[in-house]
Structure 1
Amino acid sequence: MVPGLISMLLLSGCAVGPDYKPKANADLKVPRAFVASDPSEADAEPLDLAQWWREFDDPVLTNLVDRAFAANLDIAAAAARLAQARATLRGTQGQLLPTADVSGSANRSVGNQSSSFIDPTTGQTVSRGGDTTIYRGSATVAWEADVFGRIRRSVEAARADMQSQAANLAFAQAGVASEVGLNYINARLAQIRLRIARDNLAAQDDTLQIVGWRRQAGLVSSLDYEQARQLRSQTAASLPGIENDYLTAVNRIAVLLGETPGAITPLIDPPASLPLAPGVGAPIPAVVVQRRPDIRAAERTLAAEVARIGVQTAQLYPALRLSGSFSGSATTVGNVINDGVGQLVAGITAPIFQGGQIRAAIRGQRASADAALASYQSTVLVALEEVENALKGREAAERSVTDVSIGAEAAANALIYAQDQYRAGLIDFQALLDAQRTRLSSQDSEAQARAARATATIQLYKALGGGWESAPTPAPGPYEGGTNSKTRP
């Protein structure tokens, strides 16, 4: 029997089930270059995306992102899940080691003929007669020889799960950074649109007042006055919506920073220009997509599911367990070990008939691995789609800024000419109002186009998976750190 056990232990280096092998880029249909980029530059160095928000050169934005990394609750939850996965991995690794337990007791019996008295010299109670004290002790040791790799596959799965949670934490950090940036752009855009609308409203108030005077003097008709009043009311009606856009963006940033809505409004209230979107001149190879945390998380999930096929497959094979025990009892502590008895047991458990349950579990786990593979491939394709769309969006936004800026300049010049010609009596009042309306629209469109360029840039950085490498390690939560624990006396 002993040689047979030795042979089985020598086989403990084997682990049943498939060995996981990462998929190649070709298997995942990752192209050499993005359609929206120059194929000749596909092998060039990728952009430095670690701290993309600093490229906007806006201290307020940088401060908000740094605060979000430290206090965002989604990041805190992801960090806690990572800590939980690490603890699970450590617990699973412990299954590879032997377990040991000890126990002891003392039992005092007083016989029928016993008597007790107090020693006057010491003051202690002394018993004599039928008194008996029995000391007992025991110890057990157990270990499972992982012959067919069930435990090792479990450790492999737990490690992959932990790595997946680490990637999920990075994905949460990247998402929070981009969401703070996008809402910050929206807040600054709302401020600029409010300024444009209020400036135009003030000019329209002056125009309405002048038209009112001219109407009283009989120089213009009531039609001109009502048209001026309509334009003024239309501009005023746009203000509440823009103010709401501003508050919505600022409140969202506050929540992202783990604060109550309105808590950071004083920080953003001082008007500022839109941060200048940095250029995206460096080539971006498609392999950069592989750095995205969500792709890493999906790949590690697949690895865990493949490892669990081995865990289920190992149930088909015998399990070898070694155990030892020792117990003893004596009237003195020193004799407990001398009078004790120990035993060593080697046991083998093998499935004979399980009604197909084990093979059904294996098939189910293989199906789960196939689902994880499909999810992984889908995640890669969606990432490719997002990068392509972001590249095109950035390009379109850049062209739009150029064209809209030309239009805004032309509208401003046209208003000056319209005002001069109206004073000279060369055009009617409706033409002047149209020029004012066009100028307001073009100013608003120019601000939105610049914001769209900044937004497209942030979305591109997010699509490329930037914004998590430099994020600080989240602090342990109150329960993980033990600050909420209480020890009873």
Structure 2
Amino acid sequence: MKLFRSLPPASPGRNLRSASFALPGLALALVLAGCSSLQPHSADVPVVPVPAGWSAASAGAAATPLAQWWGRLGDPELTALITEALAANTSVRSAQAALQQSRALVDVQTAGTLPQIGASASAQRSRASGSTGNSYSAGFDASWEPDVFGRLRAGVTATEADARAAEASLADVQVSLAAEVAVNYIELRGLQQRLQIARSNLASQQETLQIAQWRLQAGLTTSLVTEQARAAAEQTAAQVPALQSSLAQSRHSLAVLTGQAPAALDARLAATAPVPTAPNDLALDIPAQTLRQRPDVRAAEHRVAAAVARVAQADAARYPDFSLSGSLGLRALTLGTLTGGNSVASALAASLSASLFDGGAAKAQVRSQQAALEQVRVGYEAAVLTALKDVEDALVALQGDNERLARLQAAADAAANAALMAQQRYSSGLIDFATVLETQRTQLSAQDSVATTVASVAADHVRLYKALGGGWQ
């Protein structure tokens, strides 16, 4: 339906005839509205069974606030990077634009329920059969569609739910972004620790190689031993460029996440720093509360509400449409007489339109929207189950990595002691070089595993914070 409709000016007699047709039309609209009784659609989301507690941890009496969980890691550089990413990341900016678009569409739909008023003015000069004539007109046009069956209101409800879903989607992007920045930062610091370990072991192996060379010159050992020592040192040295490449890639990822060029953070993150660690005093919400604070679950819930409203909108579209329109203006042959009383022209009209036969298109549209509703209901169930799985997986991973870290730290301590004793005894000629070589390899492997697992534990905390819905407010 056109929002603005220009009607031709009418004479007083024509105005009376228009009014006589308009009144029965309005009466018919009121009668139909009083007789219609549309069944309301249920906006309830599907019920998904939720456990009372987490299998791998007990809920705390007062859950830990998680809006800015990265502050619990105690790393100012990480906090700064996440703040920069939330302000400049391209995904966040795109989600913000999508939210603005959704809110604008709400205003568009709301405006459609209000009367529309327009103004027009024209001047015309015509010539026919040797005579010339002028005409002038100015006036206002108005139109309004009474929302008798709620089609327009349902459209507003649907767009409002879409806007709330877009807001929740923006929060979900922020949650994911904060976690991604933290995981990349932890990986970078873990690589720095591994690079430091590799260089330290390389120095130790080069010292052992020097001892083997001295013993070879003194005739106390063979070239085989020296070559074995050189091979071990070169293998360790080969790990250094691989770790350096991974470090560079981590810096590039962090730079892009913060909305910068890949090499923008090279100087800023060049210095080695320890892996940030989270305290183990995290108190968890019960599962139901966790689902309420997860933005992806909230977005899925709002999509269900939008789909329910669209079913109602499609259902209401099967019923007649009513509209009221009118115009008030001036029309004259000269500008001087345009303001005279005889130049006033007005019109009022009411209309009703209904489809008598559409081949079943309207009913098919309702079925289409009902199928779309079922899709988003299933999507909501999937979002809830995924949320529960994310938390359980994060808890299990954190528990397993903590136990593994304790064992690896004990193994690394023992390996370091064994490597030191083996090197001392080899220098004294008490053991063969094969024992030294084996202990050094064990030490490097154990220390590297400890550094990797420390980073894994920190990343497990981050994934748990994300799974609990932390990172937005």
Q: Structure 2-normalised TM-score?
A: 0.89
Residue 177 of structure 1, CA deviation? 0.5
- Which residue of structure 1 aligns with residue 438 of structure 2? 434
- Which residue of structure 2 aligns with residue 477 of structure 1? none
- Which residue of structure 1 aligns with residue 44 of structure 2? 21
Q: Determine whether 1:102 maps to 2:119.
A: yes
The 3 A distance-change label for structure 1 pair 11 and 465 is: farther
**Alignment check: 8 A CA contact 2:331 2:338 kept:** no
The 3 A distance-change label for structure 1 pair 398 and 460 is: same
- Which residue of structure 2 aligns with residue 236 of structure 1? 237
Residue 280 of structure 1, CA deviation? 4.2
Residue 109 of structure 1, CA deviation? 7.5
Alignment partner of 1:305 out of 304, 307, 319: 307
SS at match of 1:269: coil
**Alignment check: 8 A CA contact 2:125 2:133 kept:** yes
**Alignment check: 8 A CA contact 2:331 2:345 kept:** no
SS at match of 1:320: strand
Task: Note the aligned Cα RMSD (angstroms).
Answer: 2.2
1:305 maps to a residue whose letter is A
2:298 maps to a residue whose letter is R
Aligned-partner Cα distance in 2 for 1:131–1:441: 103
Residue 111 of structure 1, CA deviation? 12
The 3 A distance-change label for structure 1 pair 277 and 415 is: same
Aligned-partner Cα distance in 2 for 1:18–1:179: 40
The 3 A distance-change label for structure 1 pair 443 and 11 is: farther
SS at match of 1:282: coil
Q: Structure 1-normalised TM-score?
A: 0.87
Q: Within 5 A, what are the aligned runs for 1:108-257?
A: 134-257=135-258
SS at match of 1:145: coil
- Which residue of structure 2 aligns with residue 329 of structure 1? 331
Using the aligned pairs only, state the percent identity: 39
Aligned-partner Cα distance in 1 for 2:78–2:420: 37
1:21 maps to a residue whose letter is D
1:383 maps to a residue whose letter is A
Q: Determine whether 1:378 maps to 2:379.
A: no
Aligned-partner Cα distance in 2 for 1:443–1:170: 39
**Alignment check: 8 A CA contact 1:34 1:285 kept:** yes
Q: Determine whether 1:273 maps to 2:297.
A: no
Q: Which runs of 5+ in 2 are unaligned?
A: 1-23
Q: Determine whether 1:358 maps to 2:362.
A: yes
Residue 4 of structure 1, CA deviation? 3.7
Alignment partner of 1:448 out of 449, 452, 458: 452
Worse-superposed segment, 195-204 or 335-344 = 335-344
- Which residue of structure 1 aligns with residue 13 of structure 2? none
1:318 maps to a residue whose letter is P
Aligned-partner Cα distance in 1 for 2:430–2:199: 29
1:397 maps to a residue whose letter is D
SS at match of 1:106: strand
The 3 A distance-change label for structure 1 pair 333 and 95 is: farther
**Alignment check: 8 A CA contact 1:292 1:465 kept:** yes
Alignment partner of 1:66 out of 59, 83, 97: 83
Aligned-partner Cα distance in 2 for 1:160–1:405: 52
Residue 350 of structure 1, CA deviation? 1.4
The 3 A distance-change label for structure 1 pair 169 and 281 is: closer
- Which residue of structure 2 aligns with residue 403 of structure 1? 407
Q: CA offsets per residue over residues 82-122 of structure 1, 9 Å max, x none?
A: 00001111000001101111111234689999xxxxxxxxx
SS at match of 2:166: helix
**Alignment check: 8 A CA contact 1:15 1:149 kept:** no
Q: Determine whether 1:294 maps to 2:296.
A: yes
SS at match of 1:260: coil
Equivalent residues, number: 446
Residue 18 of structure 1, CA deviation? 0.9
SS at match of 1:74: helix
1:66 maps to a residue whose letter is T
Aligned-partner Cα distance in 2 for 1:267–1:11: 73
SS at match of 2:348: strand
Aligned-partner Cα distance in 2 for 1:178–1:392: 18
The 3 A distance-change label for structure 1 pair 281 and 467 is: closer
